[in-house]
Amino acid sequence: MNQFLDDKLHEECGVFGIYGPKLDVATLTYYGLYALQHRGQESAGIAVSDGKLINLHKNMGLVAEVFNEDNLNKLKGYIAIGHVRYSTTGAPSLVNAQPLSFRYLRGMVALAHNGNLTNANDLRYSLGTTGSVFQSTSDTEVMINLIARYGQNPIEEALMKCMIDIKGAYSMLVMTEDKLIGVRDSYGVRPLCLGKLGDSYCLASESCALDTVGATFMRDVEPGEIIVIDANGLKSIKTMAAPHRNLCVFELVYLARPDSVIDGEAVNIARREMGKQLAREKLLDADIVMSVPDSGTAAAVGYAEESGLPYKEGLMKNRYIGRTFIQPSQKMRDIGVRLKLNPIGHVLKDQRVVLVDDSLVRGTTSKKIIQMMRNAGAKEVHLLISSPPIIYPCYYGIDTSARAELIAAQKELEEIKKYIGADTLHYLSLDGMLSATKSARENFCVACFNGDYKIEISKNIEGKYALERGMA
């Protein structure tokens, strides 16, 4: 279905890990990945260690499509890591599905990664000139080669050396035969949190996964921190952190689940506050407020609370749509939007509607939705976006469109409004968005809005398919 609604920033990946002697770690990881499914729908995988061997199962598809009782029962052990993928470097193919598992000087290791390395091409070329070979086109395999290159060192020291070499955003889980390790980059761009389940420990991209398996949230992994969990308990290793954390603000705007808490920010509250701020910036004379479900809902409720206008459900989302392989012709795209979202005629008829969405990427889906609402009887449709215009691509783990495909980078506000057919178009200001969060504004990455990239971008970064094209 993604090809029909390719008008959003795509989630990147989700990771879940557990160190749990006496627990069914494979099934718990399955549930953890289920909770993180929104972060990646292309492939899923779980690796389990029994203390001597690491076994792995992964495939293309959703978590429920990849795993069943039979293959989960074959994953016996007491440590597990899992991964759901949306590709940001390397094609969506089985060879790039994670976790990746390998043998090196010190034994077996599995690795699952959320984020994007900005110098993967350079590192891959450098490793290749000294004999490294690669089986995938994922940037994650670069880290595996680096770990192997530092294999004379204990895994913790090898990872610390890797962190000096690699640039970019990464929250990753590493599993040896007897250790579960969590690593977060020095800027903390992607989330990673720690939880406790009885005497066991969990690591997850979002706290909603901890809730799902019944674990208690302990804290977020700090930028530049390495968490090591083994038979001796939990150990924290602090490496050099950036002066300010740079959590991707889009985690709060759209990517994360509303019931998650990331770096002290309750996602649902942040989105409602963005909606309230939107009302302060653009109070409209209208009859009802509604959202583009589901990611725009919290902001729409916030707008309604602040404006005093009633919030109503005017678009019904089909929650049971899986992936489809129908070719995306224009006609099929139109049907695809209607398959997912259908206007409720009696709610919309003769109404002046404030429609709230979280972001506007290409504008193609918004155009179809607004037309559907007018066809259903809406008198006016005013589109308000609870984030600023997206003008620059993301190099830190979100699969944004090329700048040429970002409508706000190519058209003025009035041109966009005319293109999508809205009576009003207003974006939340950058200051307004950041004022809706609890943290200081310097603690967020807002590069997709202002082009201020805090982490070095390699000149050799050539997009998602660079490694397929043999760029390095």
First vs last C-alpha separation in the chain: 32
Distance (Å, whole) CA 396 – CA 417: 29
DSSP labels, 274-336? HHHHHHHH-----SEEEESTTTTHHHHHHHHHHH-PPB---EEE-TT---------HHHHHHH
Per the annotation, the verdict on 13 as an active-site residue is yes
Count of other CB atoms within 10 angstroms of residue 150? 19
101: three-class secondary structure by DSSP: strand
d(Cα 53, Cα 101) in Å, to the nearest integer? Answer: 11
Identified catalytic residue from 13, 193, 202, 394? 13
- Residue 24 to residue 77: CA distance in whole angstroms: 8
Q: Give me the DSSP letters along 193-245.
A: EEEEETTEEEEESSHHHHHHHTPEEEEEPPTTEEEEEETTEEEEEE-PPPSS-
Give ∠ CA 439-174-155 in degrees, rounded to 5: 110
* Token representation of residue 302: 């916030």
Compute CA 349 distance to the chain's CA centroid, rounded to the nearest angstrom: 36
Q: Which two tokens stand for residue 66?
A: 């990849």
Question: Residue 113's beta-bridge partner residues?
Answer: 172
Question: How far is it, in rounded angstroms, from Cα 277 to Cα 299?
Answer: 9
Catalytic positions = 13
